[in-house]
C-alpha cells in the first residue's frame, strides 16, 4: 500500500525493534490528512494514528483471496475448477494429482506476486523476505472473476443445503397407508377372483354400476326433463277411460235395479240415486234376501252391483294416487338421485384426501385462505404494537449521572416521537418478510383467486410496503382494515370455528 511519509525523527508510533536489534521502518499516517487512503472514513476526535505496513497488507490481500477461493471450493461442485486456478501452484498440483514436489508451505503465493529477498547487512543478518505484487492487472482480473463465481457457487451450495432440508418422499411419509392399503387390496382382489376369475368380477361390477346409474341418474333426470319441457308429462298408472266406463255402467245397473225392485218410486228419486251411485237400498235388500234361500238370484244380483261399486272405488283411488304422484314427481325423482349425489360427494372427498395425502400437490381453498389470514394477522399485530406507543419510562438514576441521562432521554424522546409515525428498520424488515409471504401464497395458489382479487390484493400489499409512497403506521392499519372489509376470503366463517 502507499501513504505519506512519516515526519523525521524516530517515535514510538513509527519505529519498531526486532529481536536482533535492527529497526524496521513502518509507514504511519494520520487519518484526517489522507482521507483517500484506507480508513479514511474512520474518525477519532483525539487525533489518533493508524500504522500501515505495506508488506502486511500484501500478505493480507493474498490470504484473503486464499480464504475466498477455499470457501468457493467448499461451496462449489466437487472437482470443479475456479477461474485462474493456474495462478496458484498448490491448486495446479491438486488438480494434476501431483503428490511429490515442493510442499504447500514453500509455495504460498500466486503467480502475480513474487518474493523479494533482502540482502544481508554487515552483521550477516538478512531481513525476512517480503511479498510484492508484480502483476496488479492480473490480480484485478482474478478478483473480478471470483466475484462472478461467488453467485454461482453459493447458489449451488444453497441448493445442496436445501436438498438436505427437504421433507422425505411421499412413500416414506405415508408408509402406513401403503402398508395397510396394498395388502388389503391384494387380499380382497384374490378372494373375489379366485372362484370366478377377473372377467366375472369386472362384469358384475359393470352391471351394478350400470343398474345404479340407470335407477338413480338417467331415469330421474329423463323424468324431470319430460315433465318440465315436454307435453307428455308423466304416464298415469290408472286408465281414466276405464274409470268413466265403470261409473256409467254402475249408474245403469242401479237404475235398472230400482226400476224392477221399486217400480212405484218417483222418477226423480231414482235418477238422483243412480247418479249418486247410492247402494244403500241394495245393501238392505241383500241383507233381507240372504235369510231366504229361494231369493238367491236377488242376492247374486246385489253382489254384482256391489262388486261394480268396489271396482269404481278402486279406480277412484288409483286416480287419486296418480294425482298425488304427479304433484310430487319432481320431489320423488330428486329423492331417487340423493344416493348418487351422496356417493359422488363421498368419492370426491376420499379422492381429494388420498390425493393430497400421497402427492401433496395442493391444498384446499379454505386452508390457503386461512394461511393468508394468519400472515395478515401477524402484520396487524406488528403494526398495532408500533402504533403510537407510550414513551420510555423515566430514568431512576440520581447524582451526577442524572444530567447526562436527561440529555439521552431527550434524544430518546425525539427518536420515539418519530418512530410513532413510521416503522424502524428492523420492524420494516419484518413487515417486508410478511408481505413476501403473502405474495408467495398468492402466486403459488393464483388459481384459487379471481384475477380482480389478485390485482387488488397485490396493490394493497404494495401500499402497505410503501412501494406507492411513504405511509404511516396508522395508514397501514387502515389499509388492513379495508382489506378485511372488502375481500370475502378475508372474512372468517365462524361455523367452521365451532367444530
DSSP letters, 258-314, are: HHHH-TTS-HHHHHHHHHHT--HHHHHHHHHHTT-GGGHHHHHHHHHHHHHHHHHHH
Characterise 313 by phi-psi region: left (phi > 0), alpha (psi -120 to 50), beta (else).
alpha
Quick one: cell of 194?
379366485
What is 36-88 written as a DSSP string?
TSTTTT---TT--EEEE-HHHHHHHHHHHHHHHHHHHHHHS-TTPPPTTGGG-
Which residue is associated with the grid cell 403494526?
A: 383
pLDDT digits (tens, 9 = 90+) for 449-477: 888 999 999 999 999 998 888 888 889 99
Q: Which pTM was predicted?
A: 0.36
The Cα 321–Cα 494 span in angstroms is 46
Quick one: cell of 365?
381453498
Nearest alpha carbon to residue 302 among 258, 268, 245: 258
Which helix (H) or strand (E) covers residue 325, if one does? helix 296-327
Distances, alpha carbon 108 to alpha carbons 54, 117, 298, 418, in Å: 18, 15, 140, 54
Residue 178 banded pLDDT, cuts 50, 70, 90? confident
Q: What phi and psi, each to the nearest 5 degrees, are found at residue 29?
A: -150, 155
Distances, alpha carbon 15 to alpha carbons 23, 32, 127, 427, in Å: 7, 21, 15, 50
Strand, helix or coil for residue 16: strand
Average confidence (pLDDT) over 145-171: 80
Helices 473-486 and 451-464 cross at an angle (nearest 10°) of 170
In terms of Cβ atoms closer than 10 Å to its own Cβ (0-12, 13-18, 19+), residue 473 is: buried
The 10 Å CB-count burial string (b at 16+, else e) for 324-349 is eeeeebeeebeebbeeeeeeeeeeee
pLDDT digits (tens, 9 = 90+) for 109-155: 788 888 776 565 566 555 567 778 888 888 888 888 888 888 888 77
Confidence (pLDDT) at 406: 55
Q: What phi and psi, each to the nearest 5 degrees, are found at residue 52?
A: -120, 125
Characterise 129 by phi-psi region: left (phi > 0), alpha (psi -120 to 50), beta (else).
beta
Confidence (pLDDT) at 3: 39
Confidence (pLDDT) at 456: 93
Confidence (pLDDT) at 7: 39
In terms of Cβ atoms closer than 10 Å to its own Cβ (0-12, 13-18, 19+), residue 373 is: middle
The Cα 3–Cα 1 span in angstroms is 7
Higher pLDDT, 424 or 7: 424
Say how far residue 133 (Cα) sits from the centre of its chain: 56
pLDDT digits (tens, 9 = 90+) for 362-404: 567 888 889 999 999 999 999 988 877 676 666 555 544 454 5
Average confidence (pLDDT) over 5-28: 40
pLDDT digits (tens, 9 = 90+) for 394-423: 655 554 445 455 555 555 555 555 555 678
pLDDT digits (tens, 9 = 90+) for 252-298: 998 888 888 888 888 888 888 888 888 888 888 888 887 777 778 88
Confidence (pLDDT) at 118: 59
Q: Residue 472: how many CA atoms within 13 Å on its side-chain side?
A: 9
Confidence (pLDDT) at 157: 79
Residue 29 banded pLDDT, cuts 50, 70, 90? very low
Residue 40 banded pLDDT, cuts 50, 70, 90? very low
Nearest alpha carbon to residue 278 among 311, 255, 304: 255
Confidence (pLDDT) at 377: 93
Distances, alpha carbon 142 to alpha carbons 66, 82, 138, 178, in Å: 12, 10, 6, 55
Beta-bridged to residue 17, according to DSSP, are 23
Helices 54-75 and 136-165 cross at an angle (nearest 10°) of 30
Quick one: cell of 308?
261394480
Average pLDDT, the chain: 76
Amino acid at each position: 500500500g502507499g501513504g505519506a511519509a512519516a515526519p523525521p525523527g524516530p517515535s514510538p508510533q513509527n519505529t519498531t525493534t526486532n529481536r536482533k536489534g535492527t529497526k524496521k521502518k513502518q509507514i504511519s499516517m494520520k487519518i484526517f490528512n489522507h482521507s483517500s487512503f484506507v480508513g479514511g472514513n474512520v474518525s477519532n476526535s483525539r487525533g489518533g494514528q493508524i500504522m500501515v505496513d505495506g508488506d502486511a497488507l500484501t500478505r493480507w490481500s493474498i490470504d484473503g483471496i486464499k480464504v475466498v477461493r477455499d470457501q468457493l471450493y467448499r461451496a462449489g461442485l466437487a472437482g470443479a475448477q475456479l477461474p485462474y486456478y493456474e495462478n496458484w501452484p498448490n491448486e495446479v498440483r491438486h488438480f494434476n494429482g501431483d503428490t511429490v514436489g515442493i510442499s504447500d508451505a514453500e509455495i504460498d503465493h500466486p503467480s502475480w506476486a513474487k518474493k523479494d529477498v533482502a540482502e544481508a547487512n554487515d552483521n550477516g543478518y538478512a531481513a525476512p523476505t517480503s511479498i510484492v505484487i508484480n502483476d496488479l492487472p492480473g490480480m484485478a482480473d482474478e478478483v473480478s472473476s471470483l466475484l462472478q463465481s461467488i453467485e454461482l457457487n453459493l447458489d449451488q451450495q444453497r441448493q445442496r443445503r436445501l436438498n438436505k432440508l427437504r421433507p422425505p418422499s411421499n412413500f416414506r411419509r405415508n408408509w402406513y397407508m401403503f402398508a395397510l392399503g396394498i395388502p388389503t387390496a391384494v387380499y380382497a382382489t384374490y378372494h373375489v377372483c379366485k372362484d370366478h376369475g377377473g372377467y366375472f368380477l369386472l362384469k358384475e361390477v359393470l352391471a351394478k354400476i350400470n343398474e345404479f346409474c340407470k335407477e338413480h341418474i338417467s331415469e330421474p333426470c329423463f323424468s324431470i326433463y319430460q315433465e318440465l319441457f315436454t307435453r307428455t308429462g308423466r304416464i298415469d298408472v290408472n286408465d281414466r277411460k276405464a274409470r268413466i266406463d265403470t261409473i256409467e255402467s254402475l249408474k245403469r245397473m242401479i237404475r235398472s235395479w230400482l226400476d224392477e225392485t221399486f217400480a212405484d218410486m218417483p222418477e226423480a228419486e231414482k235418477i238422483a240415486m243412480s247418479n249418486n251411485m247410492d247402494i244403500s237400498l241394495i245393501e238392505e235388500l241383500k241383507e233381507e234376501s240372504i235369510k231366504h234361500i229361494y231369493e238367491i238370484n236377488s242376492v247374486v244380483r246385489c253382489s254384482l252391483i256391489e262388486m261394480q261399486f268396489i271396482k269404481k272405488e278402486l279406480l277412484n283411488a288409483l286416480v287419486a294416487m296418480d294425482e298425488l304422484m304427479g304433484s310430487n314427481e319432481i320431489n320423488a325423482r330428486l329423492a331417487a338421485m340423493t344416493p348418487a349425489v351422496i356417493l359422488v360427494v363421498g368419492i370426491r372427498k376420499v379422492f381429494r384426501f388420498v390425493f393430497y395425502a400421497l402427492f401433496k400437490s395442493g391444498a384446499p381453498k379454505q386452508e390457503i385462505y386461512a394461511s393468508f389470514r394468519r400472515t395478515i394477522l401477524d402484520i396487524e399485530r406488528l403494526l398495532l404494537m408500533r402504533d403510537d406507543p407510550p414513551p420510555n419510562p423515566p430514568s431512576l438514576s440520581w447524582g451526577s449521572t442524572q444530567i447526562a441521562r436527561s440529555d439521552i432521554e431527550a434524544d430518546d424522546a425525539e427518536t420515539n416521537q418519530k418512530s410513532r409515525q413510521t416503522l424502524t428498520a428492523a420492524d420494516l424488515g419484518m413487515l417486508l418478510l410478511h408481505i413476501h409471504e403473502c405474495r408467495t401464497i398468492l402466486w403459488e395458489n393464483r388459481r384459487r383467486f379471481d384475477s380482480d382479487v389478485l390485482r387488488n390484493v397485490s396493490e394493497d400489499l404494495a401500499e402497505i410496503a410503501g412501494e406507492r409512497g411513504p405511509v404511516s403506521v396508522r395508514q397501514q392499519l387502515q389499509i388492513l382494515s379495508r382489506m378485511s372489509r372488502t375481500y370475502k376470503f378475508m372474512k372468517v366463517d365462524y361455523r367452521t370455528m365451532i367444530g
